[in-house]
Amino acid sequence: MRDYFLPSKANPVKILIVDDDANVRSILAQHLSHENCACITSENAFDALNKIKHTDFSLVISDVMMPGMAGTELLRFIKRQDSATSVIMITGVLDIGTAVDCLRLGACDYITKPFNLPVVRRAVDRALEQRQLLIENQYYQQELEKKVREQLGKLNGALKEVEESYKITLEAITTALDAREHETQAHSQRVREFTLTLARQLGLEGEDLVHAGRGALLHDVGKIGVPDSILLKPAKLTVEEWVEMKKHPQIGYDILLPIKFLSPAAEIVLSHQERWDGKGYPNGLGGTDIPLGARIFAAVDTMDAMLSNRPYRKALPIEAVTEELRRFSGTQFDPQVVEAFLSIPCETWLSIHESVTLLYKSQEFQDLLCRK
Ligand SMILES: [Fe+2]
């Protein structure tokens, strides 16, 4: 889009007069020139084209019948180059068909010779007024678009800041959890990545995908409310201790629900220990009553536990994971989720597990956490 400037004294109106008759050129130029209006003449359309390439004319007054290129062709070219340039056509032959063609091609007036100079003057004034209006409209539209762009830029900046503060909040929560129960941060990040991969495979996108990822990342946030004596107990939990431990999905839900950007993820946190057959906790939900994000999480959480070393056993191979998910499809896990899981190559899961684990063990990452 070209830049439009409002005309001023420093920027006088330029009129190009194109006619093969020297008398017509001279009479029109003399009559139309004044202190704010400069007239330039061309004796044919080719010379006019050359001048138009180098100068911005407000108005072109062109003869229709000229040797070489006709005025209608010139009109077509002018309108293609800049539709805001006004064009008045002049002809010695009154031909309604040509007049209609010229107006259809964008001419603003059509005058026949011999012309009456006051009539030409009125036509020129009208054409310049119309052009002025058009330019003013385009100018204000341009200004408006500029303002909208500026506001959009500011809005995007603010949104980025909000995004950044979301990220910092999430990192702060997972770091706090990790301070109590080591390896939690790497585990949370792994199940987040696994969840995002599986959720995409199941067709989730946009906000749903974001919430599924956050739900997985924060699934155990409620363990903040579980006493150390239970959470860090190196032996098996008693029945009473299990009752306490099983409160963590509800505690997590209560923590996240009031935080607006995390409230959709809170639903996943509340249901992350539910089972497809309804034998999970805290609410014994079954089937599709369990949010999809939580059903996805249940599968990937099992995978992460099996692929990771435990104090009492070494990490298990991925084949053991696929076997486990197959075996408990339809009881512990959603069969559709298991099917989607199996359609993703084992190498993908192993590569996610390895890369996130390495990242969280790296000195560079630990230093980064300390600096924050
Ligand atoms: Fe949990």
CATH superfamily of 181-371: Hypothetical protein af1432 (1.10.3210.10)
Q: Ligand 1 mean position to 362 CA, how many Å? A: 26
Q: Ligand 1 mean position to 198 CA, how many Å? A: 19
What pLDDT does 3 receive? 45
Q: Ligand 1 mean position to 346 CA, how many Å? A: 24
Q: Ligand 1 mean position to 24 CA, how many Å? A: 92
Contact 295, 337 (CB under 8 A): yes
Q: Ligand 1 mean position to 85 CA, how many Å? A: 71
Query: Hey, which residues does 114 pair with through a beta bridge?
Result: none
What pLDDT does 364 receive? 57
Q: Ligand 1 mean position to 272 CA, how many Å? A: 7
Contact 103, 75 (CB under 8 A): no
Contact 218, 170 (CB under 8 A): yes
Contact 194, 304 (CB under 8 A): yes
What is the dotted CATH code of the domain comprising 13-148?
3.40.50.2300
Alpha helices in the chain (DSSP H): 22-32, 45-54, 71-81, 96-104, 117-180, 184-201, 206-217, 228-231, 239-245, 248-256, 263-271, 292-307, 318-327, 335-342, 346-361, 363-371
- Tell me where in the chain the CATH 3.40.50.2300 domain(s) lie: 13-148
Q: Ligand 1 mean position to 355 CA, how many Å? A: 23
| The residue type at 222 | G
Other beta carbons within 10 Å of 334:
23
Cα–Cα–Cα angle for 267, 272, 276, rounded to 5 degrees: 110
* CB-based contacts of 201, cutoff 8 Å, min separation 6: 340, 341, 343, 344
Is 0.75 topped by the overall pTM? no
> What H or E segment, with its residue span, contains residue 17?
strand 13-18
Q: Ligand 1 mean position to 141 CA, how many Å? A: 56
What pLDDT does 134 receive? 83
What pLDDT does 6 receive? 47
What pLDDT does 366 receive? 59
| R_g over Cα of the chain | 38
- Tell me where in the chain the CATH 1.10.3210.10 domain(s) lie: 181-371
| The residue type at 325 | L
Q: Ligand 1 mean position to 148 CA, how many Å? A: 47
> What H or E segment, with its residue span, contains residue 8?
none
Q: Ligand 1 mean position to 249 CA, how many Å? A: 7
Q: Ligand 1 mean position to 140 CA, how many Å? A: 59
Give me the count of residues in the chain: 372
Exposure of 274 by Cβ count < 10 A (0-12 exposed, 13-18 middle, 19+ buried)? buried
Q: Ligand 1 mean position to 37 CA, how many Å? A: 81
Q: Ligand 1 mean position to 129 CA, how many Å? A: 74
Q: Ligand 1 mean position to 177 CA, how many Å? A: 12
What pLDDT does 72 receive? 93
Distance separating alpha carbons of residues 13 and 216, to the nearest angstrom: 67
Q: Ligand 1 mean position to 219 CA, how many Å? A: 6
What pLDDT does 2 receive? 46
Q: Ligand 1 mean position to 305 CA, how many Å? A: 12
Q: Ligand 1 mean position to 164 CA, how many Å? A: 27
Q: Ligand 1 mean position to 202 CA, how many Å? A: 23
| The residue type at 316 | L
Q: Ligand 1 mean position to 295 CA, how many Å? A: 13
Q: Ligand 1 mean position to 154 CA, how many Å? A: 40
Q: Ligand 1 mean position to 205 CA, how many Å? A: 25
Q: Ligand 1 mean position to 247 CA, how many Å? A: 10
Q: Ligand 1 mean position to 125 CA, how many Å? A: 80
What pLDDT does 8 receive? 54
pLDDT by 10s per residue, the chain, length 372: 444 444 455 677 899 999 999 999 999 999 988 777 889 999 999 999 999 988 889 999 999 999 999 999 999 999 998 888 899 999 887 788 888 889 999 999 999 888 889 999 999 989 988 888 888 888 899 999 999 999 999 999 998 998 888 888 888 888 877 777 766 778 888 999 999 999 999 999 999 999 999 999 999 999 989 998 998 888 889 999 999 999 999 999 999 999 988 999 999 999 999 999 999 999 999 999 999 999 999 999 999 999 988 777 888 999 999 999 999 999 999 999 999 999 999 999 999 999 888 887 765 555 655 554
